[in-house]
Amino acid sequence: MKEYTNNTINILKENNLLRIIDDELDIYLEIPHVAYIETKKENSKALLFTNVVDKKNNKKFDTPVLMNVFCNEKAIELFIGNLKEIENEISSLLKMEPAEGFSNKIKMFGKLFNLKYALPKKLKKRGVCQEVIHLGQEAKTSNIPVLTTWEQDAGPFITMGQVYTKSLDGKMSNVGMYRLQMHNDHQVGLHWQIHKDSNHFFHEYKKAGKKMPVSIAIGGHPLYIWSAQSPLPIGIFELMLYGFIKKENAKLVQCISNDLYVPHDVDFVIEGFVDTSKTKTEGPFGDHTGYYTLEDEYPFLEITAITHKKTPVFSATVVGKPPLEDKYMGHATERIFKPLLQTTVPDLVDYYLPENGVFHNLVLAKIKVLYPGHAQQVMHALWGIGQMSFVKHAVFVSENAPELNSMEIIPYILNRVDIHEMLLSRGIVDALDHSSPKFAVGGKLGIDASNDEIQPCTKTILDDNLLLDKIKNCSNEVESLKQYYTDTANPIVVLTVQKNRSHKVLLAELQSLFEFLKIVVVVDIKNNQLDNPYMLLWRVVNNIDANRDLYFQEDTMLIDASNKNHYDNYQRIWPDDVSCTPEVINRLKKRKVINIDKSFEEKFSIF
């Protein structure tokens, strides 16, 4: 077995968290599909692909591909640290008051002394990331094994790139994690969204009529990547988190062809400049929402240099339907940033961002309830804080509620929700959201389940088959149904339909059956399994805009989570689900590279 000098690989091997795959596999679909399957396993491991080829261009790479580094909670602890200890340390710093007494002053000095590691150090020598240098036309992205993950992707995308930028005056530095499309050998698309720091810097350069330096780093310590996606306020350089957590300064070196600084020990660096007067069509791309993000115009990097280690490793991740590697990355972010969130919302006890809510579509929060309307106040506060402002659906419970990530929390909530007291609002949503009528602006739903239990349900609960017969007598578009939590104050019935009209009409047709119906959820029959609540939740919070898709009549509510079209006066293009290519999965199964059965495929909606 080949030995690797890469520290990340060695740590994974030492902890039995690495699977090495020596089979010849293609950068087009095959490698990403293997990783996509691996991320969904309970005993998920990181993957090292050593025999990497580009069949389309008849090319073999010496560079291996490393994926799923944050494969589980153990990997998070190895590469980031003990999340509770980091959370407590941040909380202690935020609450620190002037110390009295010699011993307390010593303790306070110790805490402040650790902050000296936060500021990165700029080295005067070259880094190992610059052992090999390619300039100008010799700097080609086709020499890097960049992956194409999904059939409808516009081409190869770097998915774990650290994008380094700085403000026009040079006073602020930033590193972000954005998808990066390989337009050709010498141009890379930059999908930084409207709310990202890099985009703010871009507009400074654009206004000044100057080219913007950008450098993309790949690899190095996994904490670089996690720091790059962390939701820090503008002006705070994300690599300060690396230093704070690792208790050692991040060591940076200046790029070869621009004046940006990157970590000295990353594997690849792609350098260049952005002409702020030019854009290119970027996308489509199968994204972490589980849907394709459609084409749009974005700036692009014109490459001036590519540098790398003598023996680099190409790091990548895979995005699509949950659960994925970002489940563990997101959990680390959630825990570490809780104390910072509590500075704005001091009555927040805890919160949870389920990965099947793709983080920005659903938040569950515990609060210390002090007065009537407190939950609504916190809703508005959260919708005004940084990246929490993109959350579409927020559910609040009291501090004595069950654990937020437990199954017990669902009936607890359903027994406390008054459907007529839900808060409907409107505001900014993530730029990747496809369900709202307008780009980046849409409906918000706030649910207050922090009160006492409401009155028991008075609905008559029927057998699923009997209820389906009654519903089919009212509507010919309903195909099947399943009921959930029928013993709560808000029983749920999920319907699959062949959509041929607005579902506002369906609610009116069902009026004669309201004695059996409290909350009705409608999904398309295609690509939905009624006995798969994990994926149903993913579908619902992805597909609804609260201002358009919630219908109320008497004491019954209908939630339209179907794909939207002209029946709903939806003018945008509704994207497709991200799904694996059956031929590729079958080929990998036949070669015994993956081993999954039909139940696995259905559980995670692989196709």
Segment 561-571 mean pLDDT:
95
pLDDT by residue (tens digit) across 334-366?
A: 999 999 999 989 999 999 999 999 999 999 999
More confident residue, 387 or 34: 34
Q: Classify the C-alpha dihedral 482-42-360-84 as positive or negative.
A: positive
pLDDT of 108 reads 43
Q: Among 398, 415, 449, where does a domain finish?
A: 449
CATH of the domain at 388: 3.40.1670.10
One domain, residues 60 and 198: yes
Q: Write out the DSSP string of 435-451.
A: SSSBTTEEEEEEEEE-S
- Number of domains within the chain: 3
Residue 588 in any domain: the answer is no
| Contact present, 17 and 70 (Cβ < 8 Å) | no
% the chain with pLDDT above 90: 91
Same domain, 275 and 404: no
Q: Is 9 helix (H, G, I), strand (E, B) or coil?
A: helix
Mean pLDDT of the chain: 94
**Both 475 and 512 in a single domain?**
yes
Tens-place pLDDT, residues 260-281? 999 999 999 999 999 999 999 9
pLDDT of amino acid 99: 46
Q: Are residues 191 and 153 in the same domain?
A: yes
State the Cα–Cα distance between residues 358 and 215, nearest whole angstrom. Answer: 28
pLDDT in tens, 147-200: 999 999 999 999 999 999 999 999 999 999 999 999 999 999 999 988 888 999
CB-neighbour burial class of residue 476 (10 A; exposed 0-12, middle 13-18, buried 19+): exposed
Q: Among 193-197, 364-368, 547-551, 599-603, which stretch is predicted with the lowest mean pLDDT?
A: 193-197
Q: Are residues 397 and 268 in the same domain?
A: no
Which pLDDT value is given to residue 104? Answer: 53
Is residue 146 located within the same domain as residue 237?
Answer: yes
The per-residue pLDDT for 5 is: 65
Which of the pair, 147 or 115, is modelled with greater confidence?
147
Task: For 589-607, give one letter per residue: b (16+ CB within 10 A) or e.
Answer: eeeebbebeeeeeebbbbe
In a domain, 325, yes or no: no
The last residue of a domain, from among 424, 449, 474:
449
Q: What is the CATH number of the domain that holds 120?
A: 2.30.110.10
- pLDDT the model gives residue 93: 85
Q: Is residue 340 part of a domain?
A: no
Tokens of 120: 């990165």
Residue 434 and residue 475 share a domain: no
In the predicted model, is pLDDT for residue 95 greater than 80? no
In-domain check, residue 102 = no
Residue 505, domain member (yes or no) = yes
Same domain, 418 and 563: no
- Would you place residue 105 in the very low, low, confident or very high pLDDT band (cuts 50, 70, 90)? very low
Q: Are residues 432 and 495 in the same domain?
A: no
Q: Is residue 580 part of a domain?
A: no
**Residue 22 covered by a domain:** yes
User: Crossing angle for the helix pair 582-590 and 30-39, nearest 10 degrees?
Assistant: 80
Q: Quick one: 209 and 141 in the same domain? A: yes
| 408-427 pLDDT, tens digit each | 999 999 999 999 999 999 99
Domain that holds residue 354: 345-449
* 3-state DSSP assignment of residue 461: coil
In a domain, 581, yes or no: no
Which tokens in the block code for residue 54?
Answer: 């580009």
Considering the domain architecture, whether residues 47 and 147 belong to the same structural domain is answered as yes
Q: Give the CA count within 13 Å in the CB-facing half-sphere of 436.
A: 23
Asked if residue 363 and residue 311 are part of one domain, the reply reads no
Amino acid at the residue 509: E
